[in-house]
Amino acid sequence: MKTSLLLLVSLAISTQMLATHLMGGEMTVEHINNNNYIIHLTAYRDTIGIPFATTANFKIFDSNMSLIQSDTVVQDPGSGNLMAGYPYGVEVYFFHDTISVPGNGTYTVEWLNCCRNAAIQNLNAPLNENMSLSTSFTHFSGPNYSSTPVFLAPPVTYLPINQPWQYNSLPFDVDGDSLSWTIDTPLTDIGLYATGWNTPSANQSGPFSLDPITGQIDWTPDMLGNFVASILVEEFRSGNKIGEIRRDYQMIVIPDTTKCPRISNFNIFPKDNNGHAYMNLSANTPVSIIMIAEDPEGEQVYFSAFGEPLLPSQNPATFTVNPYNITDISATFSWTPDISQSRANPYLVVFRTQDSKFSFDETVMFYVGNTTTGTAEHSYFESENIYPNPTTGYTHLPVTLYKPAKVDIAIYNTLGELVTEFDLGRLDSGEHLVNFNLKAENGIYFVMISTDGILQTTQKVTLNK
């Protein structure tokens, strides 16, 4: 392992002499009060490259993309610290700026810096490309203000060649708006993609892909080197897009035969029809789940968790780590959700195991049901919960079945013509996330959901690819 790591570092030095330091980052906007917002920039640098700039320039544009403000800000205290769990130095930097917008409308904020890492394999000429980080948000008249989504799980960098790897940035919106996430080409300026980007090279059995339901990235890389990707998260309210964020980051595939640490008893979670791990919880009923993290090579292992239930609130979940020894540890996820936390949409939680180089994320969907609701005679649907809406094709609908039933979906256009049908088969009682890919022309469609041949609900969805 030491030989592999030294090889990686020497290759990085030889290919990055006089090259940039930029490894990735993201920009978000937080509403404070009235017309006032805070812009947050987080950026990552490897210590092999040139030093990071001590200031950052934020450009703010209105809905016509006219520049209305340009601010230069200095690094926040705490910038430049090394991140734990990396073979060589990765530093994180923070910048923020307080702005006031002139009125209602959509605004875009951008920061860019030149240039990208010369070692990036999946761009044509990375040294000719900026790294552009941007975000857009909509200012409404009170009280319906909006902050942008954020990423709850920090990025990771290193992964071994020819081994399955999972990572989830875990997008989350504090305002409860609908989110849709996709893999996108990195930007070199606002609205301008870096040239020649292609999906990171992968083993045929494990292509680089992002799960549209959970946001988890799966990848089995088959090539050494640096690869870049951008996670685009779009925010919708009442069917209208009101903002977006993106995380731009590098992944470095190294020649190492050690395996990622894993949760050895992850099979305690059942899988739904789409292969997603889930657990059904009842309001006001405590649950404690013990998981064990192990490292196959006997390295020290670390265990962490991220997700909405763990955020500071009146009734948060807890994640308590109890080490057995350095190579295997247990952790307990505990939560007693109250009645106000019951809902049809699942809570996403990411459990991350990590050693000195590699990490591995497992994503679990927690459904919280209302125990005061009596059992119905047929399926119960939250008709307003199709999301995202508008959609680019992948569409999801939380469904609760109070008894097993055969579930079918029929989709019609505005002329009443059948576009497509989906037979989901017989589903067990409980909570499910029904999802389908609507392959059709842009427009408005009606989604009709039936159980055991009985129509239960009709929902309208807008397709906008």
The stretch 67-77 carries a mean pLDDT of 96
In tens, the pLDDT along 339-349 reads 999 988 899 99
Give the pLDDT confidence score for residue 459 in this predicted structure: 76
Distance CA 101, CA 145 (A): 12
| Per-residue pLDDT band at 385 (split at 50, 70, 90) | low
Task: Give the whole-number percent of the chain exceeding pLDDT 90.
Answer: 51
Burial degree of 199 (CB within 10 A; 0-12, 13-18, 19+):
middle
Q: Are strands 262-263 and 225-237 parallel, antiparallel or unpaired?
A: unpaired
Give the pLDDT confidence score for residue 133 in this predicted structure: 96
CA–CA distance from 368 to each of 58, 280, 290, 400 (Å)?
A: 41, 6, 19, 11
Give the pLDDT confidence score for residue 18 in this predicted structure: 41
Distance CA 350, CA 362 (A): 6
The stretch 56-66 carries a mean pLDDT of 96
The stretch 213-237 carries a mean pLDDT of 95
| Per-residue pLDDT band at 323 (split at 50, 70, 90) | confident
| Per-residue pLDDT band at 87 (split at 50, 70, 90) | low
Distance CA 252, CA 221 (A): 10
Give the pLDDT confidence score for residue 196 in this predicted structure: 95
CA–CA distance from 25 to each of 293, 419, 465 (Å)?
A: 28, 41, 27
Distance CA 354, CA 299 (A): 10
The stretch 258-275 carries a mean pLDDT of 88
Over 50: is that where the pLDDT of 63 sits?
yes
- For every residue of 139-196, DSSP letters joined together read E-STT---PPPEE-SPP--EEETTS-EEEE--EE-TT--EEEEEEEPPEEETTEEPTT
The answer to whether 60 and 126 have CB atoms below 8 angstroms apart is no
| Per-residue pLDDT band at 359 (split at 50, 70, 90) | very high
| Per-residue pLDDT band at 118 (split at 50, 70, 90) | confident
The whole-chain average pLDDT of the chain stands at: 86
Give the pLDDT confidence score for residue 437 in this predicted structure: 87
The stretch 302-331 carries a mean pLDDT of 88
Question: Tokens 């060649």 sit at which residue?
Answer: 161
Burial degree of 11 (CB within 10 A; 0-12, 13-18, 19+):
middle
Task: Write down the pTM of the prediction.
Answer: 0.77
In tens, the pLDDT along 396-455 reads 887 777 778 888 888 887 666 788 988 888 888 777 778 888 889 898 887 878 777 766
Give the pLDDT confidence score for residue 6 in this predicted structure: 36
Domains in the chain, CATH or no CATH each: 2-254 (2.60.40.10), 262-369 (2.60.40.10), 380-463 (2.60.40.2560)
CA angle 176, 182, 187 (to 5 degrees): 110
Distance CA 336, CA 105 (A): 40
Report residue 349 CA to chain centroid gap.
11
Between residues 304 and 270, the one the model is more confident about: 304
Give the pLDDT confidence score for residue 382 in this predicted structure: 44
